Structure 1
Amino acid sequence: MRADARRNYERLISTARAAFMEHGTGASLDDIARRAGVGSGTLYRHFPTRDDLLHAVLQERIDGLLAHAAELMREPDPDAALAGWLRGYLAGATTPHGTSTVLIEAMSPRCSATRLGIAAAAIRDAVGGLLERAQRAGAIRANADAADLLRLTNAIGVAAERTQDPAGYAERMLALLFDGLRTR
């Protein structure tokens, strides 16, 4: 990428991150381009779809979630590892506003070839490894699956966005979810 194109790309991501934090994931792409000091055509050359821009903004978080799951596979207590990962996932799922909804949508079959859809599949596989480990240890019900667990967790994130205390609400709902998942 040419130096000026790289600068525009980075400025668009930075501006989009700020706009999404301010207005949620539905922020106007044309406004993001204007605030970044580039034309809409430049934004769409770099990010042909909203999905592409959201993926670029969330990429660091996605990479962190995948790395955290890999680390937790070495945690001696599989139940605690799964719960810890889901807590970390939820901590980031409520910001920017709308992220949980975007991730639920990315899990749908029609989004499987998009960047966010591919990322959602990687996240599902990562939590699936943690879930399977906890199931083999007998800590979590055998009939739970990773896709359903992520949908439920994202639903908690969507609900938490609409409360005065998103973190506290998410923690309470996650505790209820785990009470239903545990075998003991």
Structure 2
Amino acid sequence: MAAEPSPSPSARPQPRADAARNREAVLAAATRAFATSDTEPSMREIARQAGVGIATAFRHFPTREALVEAVYRDQVVRLTAGARELLAEHPPARALRLWMDLFAEWQATKHGMTDTLLAMIDAGEISLAHSRQELLSAITAILDAGAAAGDIRADARADDLSAAILGMLAVAAKSGEPGQAGRLLDMLMDGVRPR
């Protein structure tokens, strides 16, 4: 007896519009809360900021780990999509500098979820290797376009650039000096321009 075909994606039930809005509201509130909080914010606080009840927040994200994973993955998608969008709208060197700012925002988002994120990475629940590869591919696309256009050095490598950005953002975060991250990233951009 032949197995019944699986339903097509369009035949699967779609979430109601209000449920999808609530999920996005919780995700956006969590992203903001993680970026601005010195400690990991509670699910209750995130639900309050999203304008939903705690039960609604838990319906979409049954655990703190589920929410942290969703925020983390959402930010990786935004970074990779952001690279393509910036490259479509700007010359490669400008796109790269703007993308560095997106990356800095992503780093800030992880601030209030660091403990949970590290525990999930240690437990193997989140793979950094996959996210790293996606981000390196995004950087490579910009670097390749820049090398072809002649406004980024042809020998610039995505892994080197990623390491430099991470190091500069870590130093700037510890200094607490407003504007230092931007100045460091500007200096890095000077280094990747052709000589």
Give the corresponding residue for 1:73. Answer: 87
TM-score, normalising length: structure 1:
0.62
SS of the equivalent of 1:73 reads helix
Q: Measured at CA, do residues 58 and 132 of structure 1 come closer, stay the same or move farther in structure 2, by a change above 3 Å? A: same
C-alpha displacement of 1:175: 1.0
Identity %: 28
Tell me whether 1:179 sits opposite 2:195 in the alignment.
no
Alignment of 1:14-93 (within 5 A): 20-21=34-35, 27=40, 54-90=68-104, 92-93=105-106
What is the alpha-carbon distance in structure 1 between the residues aligned to residue 64 and residue 132 of structure 2? 17
C-alpha displacement of 1:152: 1.0
Cα deviation code 1:122-142 (max 9, x no counterpart): 111011100111112222222
Tell me whether 1:160 sits opposite 2:172 in the alignment.
yes
Q: Pick the aligned partner of 1:148 from 130, 139, 160.
A: 160
Tell me whether 1:95 sits opposite 2:112 in the alignment.
no
What is the alpha-carbon distance in structure 2 between the residues aligned to residue 97 and residue 163 of structure 1? 18
Letter in 1 for 2:189: F
Letter in 2 for 1:178: M
C-alpha displacement of 1:176: 0.8
Q: Measured at CA, do residues 19 and 161 of structure 1 come closer, stay the same or move farther in structure 2, by a change above 3 Å? A: same
SS of the equivalent of 1:95 reads helix
What is the alpha-carbon distance in structure 1 between the residues aligned to residue 181 and residue 108 of structure 2? 13
Cα deviation code 1:6-46 (max 9, x no counterpart): xxx99x9789758744666x859xx879x99x9xxxx9xx8
Tell me whether 1:120 sits opposite 2:132 in the alignment.
yes
What is the alpha-carbon distance in structure 2 between the residues aligned to residue 97 and residue 175 of structure 1? 23
Q: Measured at CA, do residues 173 and 32 of structure 1 come closer, stay the same or move farther in structure 2, by a change above 3 Å? A: same
Q: Which runs of 5+ in 1 are unaligned?
A: 1-8, 106-110
TM-score, normalising length: structure 2:
0.59
Contact 1:16-1:57 within 8 A present in 2 as well: yes
What is the alpha-carbon distance in structure 2 between the residues aligned to residue 85 and residue 137 of structure 1? 17
Contact 2:35-2:111 within 8 A present in 1 as well: no
Letter in 2 for 1:159: V
Aligned length: 169
Letter in 2 for 1:145: R
Contact 1:135-1:141 within 8 A present in 2 as well: yes
